[in-house]
Amino acid sequence: MMHRQDAPDNHDAAEERTAAAVRDLAGTVGEGLLEIDTVLSEVTTFHIGGPAAGLAHVRTSDDARRFLEFAGEREIDVLGLGGGSNLLVDDNGFCGLILRMEMTDVVFGPGTVRAGAGLPFDELIALSLAAGRPGLEFASGIPGSLGGAVVGNAGCYGHEIGEFVLEATLLRPDGSVERVGPEDLGFRYRSSDLKGSDTLLLDVLIHAEAGNVTAAVAERHEHLTDRLRKHPVDEPCAGSYFQNLAPSSPGERRRAAGALLDELGVRGWREGDAAVYHKHANIIVNLGRATCLDVLTLAGRMKAAVVDKFGEELVEEVRHLPRHRTGRGFCG
Ligand SMILES: Cc1cc2nc3c(=O)[nH]c(=O)nc-3n(C[C@H](O)[C@H](O)[C@H](O)COP(=O)(O)OP(=O)(O)OC[C@H]3O[C@@H](n4cnc5c(N)ncnc54)[C@H](O)[C@@H]3O)c2cc1C
């Protein structure tokens, strides 16, 4: 079984079981493959979060299988981690094994590129343009890994990565490896069937026809410049905190959560060291020592204000990772 569903009074048992398992694992894996009690604020862009019982560096699909099988045998929780740019980790950290996906191979084929889930998404875009393959430039500057982008169907400027995915290699919890097409990945707005599932994404085959990249390179430059202007550069964050709202009627565009929040004047709202970014009402930044609780409290105030004024329920885009998992899936 992949995930414990311990009641709070069983958390002590989970802590002991997990710590013992991670110690045993450390005795069997090669040097540098496993870290104990790594503070997760160091591997997330929010720079928030306490220690994980273990953090394993996954550099091959064999590593992934081995760690996943071990976690299953010892009944400890796991979380697949990419760039940590969409996560809010609990102040107490994570009672489980973090599998940090670090496979970064890239192979261009006719009309395609296959890349490891751990490759930084923006690096794939830069490499594709350098290889004369336009298409992904709309996403220039999205932080994190290719895997995280596919799991969350990352997007902007009217496009999403899911439109370009031809195939994904998945590692199922039973240790089997499967290649599936996009129709089996359930892409939807900022999500896919992989999000919150027990499956690890190993690599992705992306549509990447050869073509003239002049316009694409210019578009990339424009988006990178725009992001530098609009997004926090010095203050840690995890991007847009809330999802945009469903369209009011079919065929219309989603309504920007930031626009509603702006009507409430939330820019500058603050809880401890968590604050709403002064240039963007839908981004929460860490001013230095923000805790997970600061962020959750601030986000809760923002949500409540939107319900009061507009009768709308905002849904979090950033995923909160508690210390103890209470449900199934890799996250939250
Ligand atoms: C400044 C800033 C700007 C941003 N702009 C955008 C934007 O324009 N559009 C957008 O969509 N997002 C944006 N984001 C959010 C974030 O960058 C994306 O969601 C990104 O794709 C997350 O990738 P990651 O590797 O960091 O995922 P992580 O944060 O590491 O993980 C996110 C989720 O995916 C799971 N996961 C990650 N890798 C794997 C894997 N290989 N197998 C299984 N599960 C996995 C994790 O368990 C977790 O549930 C922004 C963030 C920041 C900080």
The C-alpha atoms of residue 258 and residue 266 are separated, in whole angstroms, by: 9
CATH number for the domain harbouring residue 122 = 3.30.465.10
Query: Do 49 and 25 have their domain in common?
Result: yes
Q: Residue 314 pLDDT > 50, yes or no?
A: yes
Question: Active site residue: 66, 100, 133, 190, which one?
Answer: 190
**166 and 125 fall within a common domain:** yes
CATH code for the domain of 47: 3.30.43.10
| Cβ of residue 142 lying under 6 Å from some atom of ligand 1 | yes
Whether 325 contacts 14, CB under 8 Å: no
The finding on whether 85 has its CB within 6 A of some atom of ligand 1 is yes
Check if 84 has its Cβ closer than 6 Å to any atom of ligand 1: yes
137/192 same-domain check:
yes
Q: What is the pLDDT of residues 88-118, one digit of tens each?
A: 999 999 999 999 999 999 999 999 999 999 9
Measured in Å, residue 150 CA sits from the centre of ligand 1 at 8
How does residue 305 score in pLDDT terms, banded at 50, 70 and 90? very high
Catalytic annotation present for 197: no
Residues 140 and 49 placed together within one structural domain of the fold: no
Give residue 8's pLDDT: 59
Average pLDDT, the chain: 94
Smallest CA separation from ligand 1 atom 1, residue: 239
Q: Is residue 322 part of a domain?
A: no
Residue 127 sits in the same domain as residue 206: yes
Residue from 77, 142, 254 whose mutation best tests the ligand 1 pocket (most atoms within 8 A of CB): 142
- Does the annotation count 252 as an active-site position? no
Q: Is there a single domain that holds both residue 97 and residue 175? A: no
Both 210 and 116 in one domain: the answer is yes
Q: Please report whether residue 135 resides in a domain.
A: yes
Let me know if residue 144 belongs to a domain. Answer: yes
| Cβ(154) – ligand 1 distance below 6 Å | yes
pLDDT at position 2 is 46
Query: Which of 70, 103, 136 is a domain's end point?
Result: 103
Counting the structural domains of the chain, the total is: 3
User: Is there a domain that residue 2 lies in?
Assistant: no
Give residue 9 CA to ligand 1 midpoint distance, Å: 32
Bridge partners, 294 (sequence order): none
pLDDT value of residue 326? 61
Whether the Cβ atoms of residue 50 and residue 95 lie closer than 8 Å to each other: no
Nearest ligand 1 atom to alpha carbon 145: 25
In a domain, 231, yes or no: no
Between strands 283-286 and 319-321, the pairing is unpaired
> Is the per-residue pLDDT at 3 higher than 60?
no
Whether 67 and 160 map to the same domain: the answer is no
Q: Is the CB of 171 under 6 A from ligand 1?
A: no
Residue 323 resides in a domain: no
pLDDT of residue 162: 98
Q: Which of 240, 271, 319, 325 is catalytic?
A: 240
Any domain includes 253 = yes
Q: State the average pLDDT over residues 133-145.
A: 98
| Ligand 1 atom 8, closest CA | 156
| b/e burial code for range 271-284 (CB count within 10 A of at least 16 → b) | bbbbbbbeebbbbb
Q: What is the pLDDT of residue 57?
A: 97
Residues 249 and 159 in one domain: no
- Residue at a domain's end among 103, 133, 168: 103
Mutate to test the pocket of ligand 1, among 85, 136, 191, 328 (most ligand atoms within 8 A of CB): 85
Q: Please give the share of the chain, as a percent, with pLDDT higher than 90.
A: 89
Among the residues of the chain, which ranges form H helices? Answer: 11-26, 61-73, 121-130, 146-151, 214-230, 257-263, 292-310
Based on the fold, state whether residues 301 and 255 are members of the same structural domain.
yes
Can you tell me the distance from the alpha carbon of 146 to that of 161, in angstroms, rounded to the nearest whole number? Answer: 9
Q: Is 68 in the pocket of ligand 1 (CB under 6 A)?
A: no
Residue nearest to atom 22 of ligand 1 (CA): 148
Q: Are residues 143 and 163 in the same domain?
A: yes
Same domain, yes or no: 188 and 124: yes
Q: pLDDT tens for residues 235-271?
A: 999 999 999 999 888 888 899 999 999 999 999 999 9
pLDDT score of 199 more than 70: yes
**According to the model, what pLDDT value does residue 330 have?**
43
Instruction: Tell me, yes or no, if 240 is annotated catalytic.
Output: yes
Domain of 296: which CATH number?
A: 3.90.78.10
Higher pLDDT pick, 328 / 92: 92
Domain containing residue 192: 106-215
Choose which residue among 59, 146, 151 to substitute to test ligand 1 binding: the one with the highest number of ligand atoms within 8 A of its C-beta. Answer: 151
Neighbours of 308 (CB within 10 A): 9
- Write down which residue in 53, 78, 103 finishes a domain: 103
- The pLDDT of residue 328: 42
Measured from the CA of 79, which atom of ligand 1 is nearest? 47
- In the predicted model, is pLDDT for residue 49 greater than 60? yes
Q: With bands split at pLDDT 50, 70 and 90, how would you rate the model's confidence at 9?
A: low
| pLDDT tops 50 at residue 329 | no
Structure-block tokens of residue 68? 């996943």
The amino acid present at 51, given as its one-letter code, is P
- Assess if residue 332 is contained within a domain: no
